[in-house]
Structure 1
Amino acid sequence: MQLALFDLDNTLLSGDSDYEWTQHLISKGVLDRDSFERRNAEFFEQYKSGTLNIHEFLDFQLASLAENTHADLQTWHEEFMADRVRPMIGQKARDLVKRHQDNGDLCAMVTATNSFVTGPICHELNIPHLIATIPAQENGRFTGKPRGTPAFREGKVTRVEDWLESMGLCWKSFERSWFYSDSLNDLPLLSLVSNPVAVDPDSTLHAYAESAGWPILSLR
């Protein structure tokens, strides 16, 4: 048995779904452009530099879910998929996922971006399992807070191991394991798999991958 794990933003996508979701809501007039565009850009730069406070970011990012109905969110998300997400999915990314699927590998997307935003993207890429930050809900509405451990940095390791344990599996269950990621934030999980792959990596991960002898792949 083999395991293939895929980061989403700037890995399988040639962009960041969290950032683009907020930009989409700004373009719809759902969020105020002046305040939210500036804050969105600040968080995006913090993520890229490895300094993001995930709880501060989630307070910002999940607020829009709490402030709107599921029906409206679903309509906006369908537009988001058509206008912003599908253009960010290249054939090389689809082919990579398909190669692992055809090989019979257990496949999962592992992303810090919340499951409302990423669930349809996971389906679009034909990946059967999603490990993402979970937005909490009460009485049929989002609360604006995460439920459980956010799938970010070391939290990705925790969430993957919990997922494997739920199926009676662990790292030793697999002959080989892959994790594909672009980000220095994913070093904790990249360091655990037998086959870490840096995909269109940021400068820090690129340097680390070169020094460690990890493959460097482009899906662009």
Structure 2
Amino acid sequence: MNEFIDIFSSSDPESVATSVKLLLLLTVLSLAPGILILMTSFTRILIVLSFVRTSLATQSMPPNQVLIGIALFLTFFIMAPTFQEVNEEALTPLFNEEITLDEAYEEASEPMKEFMGKHTRQKDLALFMNYSGLEAPESIQDVPLTTLVPAFAISELKTAFQMGFMIFVPFLVIDMAVASVLMSMGMMMLPPVMISLPFKILLFVLVDGWYLISKSLLEGF
């Protein structure tokens, strides 16, 4: 512990620079979960995949670990251009001591704001802008992250629920059809979900559901 304190109190510029980089890295790592969930495509993807599982009524299949893993890799794939720009414009120059920490923050914010701005509804953004008492911005870069992030988050939630509704409809039709057949046969005590599950899985496989879901998510960004 004393050695750690000595590093920050050192008069050696190289040691101080290394300490600042270490502190920055720890800060980024501590904020990474929030950044991943609220400032990327992760929220929409995970909710849509959860809707797929719920509509199929397969309970824990696929398990949460699989859904989160798929959501993570799809997020990294979608966000790759944005993350690359952040790395080239902010992180690399900062580690090379070409820009200051404040300049790196501004450079990193620009591509993230551009991404979130493309997928944020004007109504949602206006809600938080008006509540904060801010004037209409000339561009998305003029919107503070404290305002843009929640607006982007509720926009993503709405989009995810819209996609979830569209996913539910065909499976709901199957459930209703099976329930009607069972009632007409006098088998009211037999749970319709138990009978409809194989048909829903068969339909999902025949239309190549995972491909269609992944395609819709990728094209949505």
TM-score by length of 2: 0.23
Q: Which has the higher strand share?
A: 1
Q: Which of 1 and 2 has greater Rg?
A: 2
- Greater fraction of residues in helix: 2
